Amino acid sequence: MSLFPLFHWLQSTEFFAALSGSQLVYPIVMTVHLACIAVFGGMILMTDLRLLGLAFTNYPAAEFVGSLRTGKRIGFCIMVAAGLLLAGSKAETYYGNPYFWAKLTLLALVAVHAVVFRPRVYAKLAELDRAGVMSAEAKVAAYISLVLWIGILCMGRLIAYYEPPRSPF
């Protein structure tokens, strides 16, 4: 079953048609999306660098992650909401855009990352703090997180550069 009819319908709803037609609202939603990337993305990058022992080395990792958790969750929700608005208003073009699907795949892998590493690393940070050294697993989790999120940022940018093959008609 193809999802195209769904994407086509979404874009043609009055709501998304108005959004994509707006010279002002669309860029503002984009600004919100980007501002969240800076604040929330910055928190993720620094968390990964903390686990790698490259930043905030004297700050207990458990507390570091704990203090940023609420901020990350709020940021993530606003970022996704703005992202859905952006994607919804261009749903038809996004449907055929491989970078869009690559971005969604990477986001799904972020969920897998959370399921795999939360019990092994993020729930055990206090233990790692007491041991005074980050486990190899924690570093692997941080490297994978860095690769996933930088990948998501890049795929997001590249969505704009994909040109669909010309229709033969």
Q: Which CB atom, from 39 or from 140, has the smaller least distance to other proteins?
A: 39
Q: Does 25 bind other proteins (CB under 8 A)?
A: no
Considering only 13-21, 60-68, 104-112, 120-128, which stretch makes contact with other proteins by CB under 8 A?
Answer: 60-68
User: Furthest-apart CA pair in the chain: how many Å?
Assistant: 67
Q: Which CB atom, from 7 or from 48, has the smaller least distance to other proteins?
A: 48
Q: Which CB atom, from 88 or from 151, has the smaller least distance to other proteins?
A: 151
Q: Does 46 bind other proteins (CB under 8 A)?
A: yes
Q: 10 is written with which tokens? A: 């979404």
What does the alpha-carbon distance between residue 40 and residue 76 come to, in Å, rounded to a whole number? 7
Q: 56 is written with which tokens? A: 């905030």
Q: Does 31 bind other proteins (CB under 8 A)?
A: yes
What does the alpha-carbon distance between residue 93 and residue 111 come to, in Å, rounded to a whole number? 26
Q: 46 is written with which tokens? A: 């620094």
For the four alpha carbons of 22, 27, 28 and 33, in that order, the dihedral sign comes to positive
Phi and psi for 130 in degrees, rounded to 5?
-65, -40
H or E segment to which residue 50 belongs: helix 42-51
- For residue 57, the minimal CB distance to other proteins (Å) is 8
Q: Does 87 bind other proteins (CB under 8 A)?
A: no
Considering only 79-87, 113-121, 125-133, 154-162, which stretch makes contact with other proteins by CB under 8 A?
Answer: 154-162
Indicate the angle between helix axes 4-12 and 14-21, nearest 10 degrees: 70
Q: Does 13 bind other proteins (CB under 8 A)?
A: no
Could you list the residues that contact other proteins (CB under 8 A)? 23, 26-28, 30-31, 34-35, 37-43, 45-46, 49, 55-56, 59-60, 63-64, 67-68, 71, 150, 153-154, 156-158, 160-161
